[in-house]
Amino acid sequence: MRLEGKVAIITGAAGGIGFAAAETFAREGATVALADFRAEAGESKAQWLRNKGYNVNFYQVNVADRESINSMAKAIENDYGTIDILVNNAGITKDSMLTKLSQEDFEAVINVNLTGVFQCTQAVLPVMLAKGRGKIINTSSVSGVNGNIGQTNYAAAKAGVIGMTKTWAKELGRKGINVNAVAPGFIETGMTAAVPDKVIDQMKAMVPIGKLGKPEDIANAYLFLASAESDYVNGIVLHVDGGIMM
Ligand code: CAA
Ligand code: NAI
């Protein structure tokens, strides 16, 4: 029970990686707030976990909207009295070659994947600062570290997440709050299901382990960074990508 007694918020928890993380955290004893834009999927996944005896709840949120985030944070604080862990996992893609990328699609991805991380973190920070303890885990990507064809908007946001992670690790470390990032490689979820087969084959060829990752591979990295085992780990980007970034 590595998260016994902890209250964790996981954004994007109705999706592939976020849901795996919610189940992993709940299994390790955490009370989990599954937060997502998609209410129906989120509610039914939370119910599925409750049926297994876990202490979880669903909260609808749009991480691109500050008011929506503030109400979510307030509701979770009211329900559980505290917030110990925030996993900024919600994300979207709107892939396009630079020549065709619209302003709208550029901004939409920045708003969710970059501004969303900033806004969610600011919303939970007062609780963590008052406690003098907290764990913030941000989701970057191999695309944010290395760039990726068709992902100007996404790579910019995910690189920005690394910049914010390192800045916050420096600002908040002495206040008892650890801030780290995970940079997944290509993981089997709805997000990669939308990628053309030809590109998936190219991705697999890039991975020394020779296959795509599973949502649980990332959930386990989140677990490490959320648990006391990582108390002296701060400001890192943990690459969970089968070796792409060597
Ligand atoms: N490597 C090499 N060449 C590529 C390529 C790649 N990954 N992707 C596209 N190209 C080439 C194409 O072969 C094509 O070449 P030609 O002009 O010589 O034929 C050219 O670039 C244009 O490609 P498309 O014909 O596919 O152009 P399009 O406008 O129809 O589509 C696209 C562009 C939307 C970017 C599409 O190629 C695509 O969806 N690519 C996948 C993008 C991707 O990797 N997304 C990752 C999603 S998963 C994720 O984001 C999770 C994470 O964090 C990693
Ligand atoms: P997914 O598409 O399965 O899940 C993403 C979830 O985020 C969805 O449930 C969606 O409803 C939610 N979401 C989207 N916009 C939102 C918003 N405005 N407010 C609240 N929730 C919102 O994708 P996946 O793969 O589980 O992605 C999780 C994270 O991992 C994302 O940040 C993604 O960028 C990142 N990632 C994924 C990789 C992959 O290969 N699947 C690789 C690297 C990073």
Task: Kindly state whether residue 238 falls inside one of the protein's structural domains.
Answer: no
Task: Kindly state whether residue 240 falls inside one of the protein's structural domains.
Answer: no
* pLDDT above 70 coverage of the chain, percent: 100
For residue 101, the model assigns a pLDDT of: 99
Task: Kindly state whether residue 237 falls inside one of the protein's structural domains.
Answer: no
> Which residues are part of the catalytic machinery?
154
- Protein residue whose Cα sits closest to atom 1 of ligand 1: 149
**Per-residue confidence at 78, pLDDT binned at 50, 70, 90?**
very high
Give tens-digit pLDDT for 37-68: 999 999 999 999 999 999 999 999 999 999 99
Task: Kindly state whether residue 71 falls inside one of the protein's structural domains.
Answer: yes
- Protein residue whose Cα sits closest to atom 4 of ligand 1: 149
For residue 128, give the CATH number of its domain.
3.40.50.720
Give tens-digit pLDDT for 117-162: 999 999 999 999 999 999 999 999 999 999 999 999 999 999 999 9
Task: Kindly state whether residue 242 falls inside one of the protein's structural domains.
Answer: no
Task: Kindly state whether residue 196 falls inside one of the protein's structural domains.
Answer: yes
- Protein residue whose Cα sits closest to atom 47 of ligand 1: 192
What is the Cα–Cα distance from 89 to 67, expressed in whole angstroms?
A: 19
What the block records as the tokens of 35 is 């937060």
**C-alpha gyration radius of the chain:** 17
Q: How far is the CA of 238 from the centre of ligand 1 (A)?
A: 26
**What is the number of domains present in the chain?**
1
Task: Kindly state whether residue 93 falls inside one of the protein's structural domains.
Answer: yes
Global pTM reads 0.98
Assembly ipTM? 0.97
Task: Kindly state whether residue 243 falls inside one of the protein's structural domains.
Answer: no
- Per the structure, the complete domain to which residue 161 belongs is given by 7-231
Residue of 191, 222, 241 to test ligand 2 pocket, by largest number of atoms within 8 Å of CB: 191
Q: How far is the CA of 55 from the centre of ligand 1 (A)?
A: 41
**Per-residue confidence at 230, pLDDT binned at 50, 70, 90?**
very high
What is the Cα–Cα distance from 80 to 67, expressed in whole angstroms?
A: 20
Give tens-digit pLDDT for 206-228: 999 999 999 999 999 999 999 99
Q: How far is the CA of 162 from the centre of ligand 1 (A)?
A: 24
Neighbour-count burial of 197, counting CB atoms closer than 10 A to its CB (0-12 exposed, 13-18 middle, 19+ buried): exposed
